[in-house]
A and B are shown apart, each in its own frame.
Chain A
Amino acid sequence: MSEWILETQSVSKSYGGVRAVDQVTLRVKRGSVTALIGPNGSGKSTLFNIISGVDKPDSGKVFVSNNDVTGYPPHKLFQMGVYRTFQNPRLFFGMSVLENTLLTVKSPGDNPLRALLPSEWVNHELNIAEQAKEILELFRLSEVYKNSASEISGGQIKLLQLAMALMANPELVLLDEPIAGVSPHLVPTIFDALLRIREQGKTLFIIEHRLHELFEVADWVYVMGRGRLIASGPPSEIVRNERVREEYLGSSIV
């Protein structure tokens, strides 16, 4: 197994003349918790889009477990073990909490012909339902299992996102601001979830606005500013980094 689960090489992406991502080269170690921070508009989400296949880079390459996945469509990257959440949660609001959770797992019933014969997929369905039950209970979402995803609270939506990430059992989890905007009393729950995911040997690559929340857990930090990678290192070094402080223009990064 490769040491680096994710690698980008000089990845660039422009939108209408603006360089959203400018020659970013970084590596994420397998099993680590890596943070990607930077002020708004620094290109973090765009980078995630490129890594998860939502956007194609204008130039540069992306590697997952040493495989060149540049330009792969999102569903292929999922199959390679890359899971990604969105800053504005993209759930399926026409379906229930349970259905959203079950969706993250491949099933023999995904094929329309097999779907017609329940015997082909019912056992698998019951198994994953068991898993879903455990996971939803972890996040205290099991009471609302049959509620439509449009009926639950904002905090519950964020928790559901993490539940789905856990359920999908990926190798690399790309989380786009999982903590920002969550009410303080839910933050411990989310932290527990992140640690649990990490305990299972998965890699976490997390975008956050500021380092504060991730300071304790992050093994490595990348800092982006105006599309470029401006610093990288362990949290303790980053806090003292002058360039980083400049980029945040006086506002605290911790």
Chain B
Amino acid sequence: MKDNPLSNWPPIIDSDHIPRWVKMRDIFLTIGAWLIILATFHSLLWIIFEYFSDPIFELSTTATPQWSEIWQKVSRFFYIALGLVSWICFLAISRRKIINSTQYIKTFPPSVQMKELEADLGVSSADIERWHKLPSVEVFVNENNRVCKIIPSQKI
């Protein structure tokens, strides 16, 4: 990229300039966080491990979880999630042509409509055309936060 002060693209700023202790702190804290999560998951992980180890598809040392009780707790939310997923699938399939539209549409600048809107904003087309030609301007704003005056900048 010519004139580009950034030598690398994408312009990611990584942790090269960060003190070593900060990097180590972040890594150790994150490992700690994973261990906490794994510790809370340990019963579940153990059941999965046991289920798939020899004898396969059987739980020999752990008591079988109360699946019906768990399902009773979870089922309501499962059906809500299923309903939402079904709805978004239906919507996506029915709108797939619009979502993936690639056909070019020739649109003409709606000049009449634009002029009406400019008038609504309290600016004339002549003013707008003049502003379009100016490379540098000073902008004045009124108490209603509307642009009330644009003049060529004196700074250049």
Q: Note whether A and B form a binding pair.
A: no
Interface residues of A, Cβ cutoff 8 Å to B: none
Interface residues of B, Cβ cutoff 8 Å to A: none
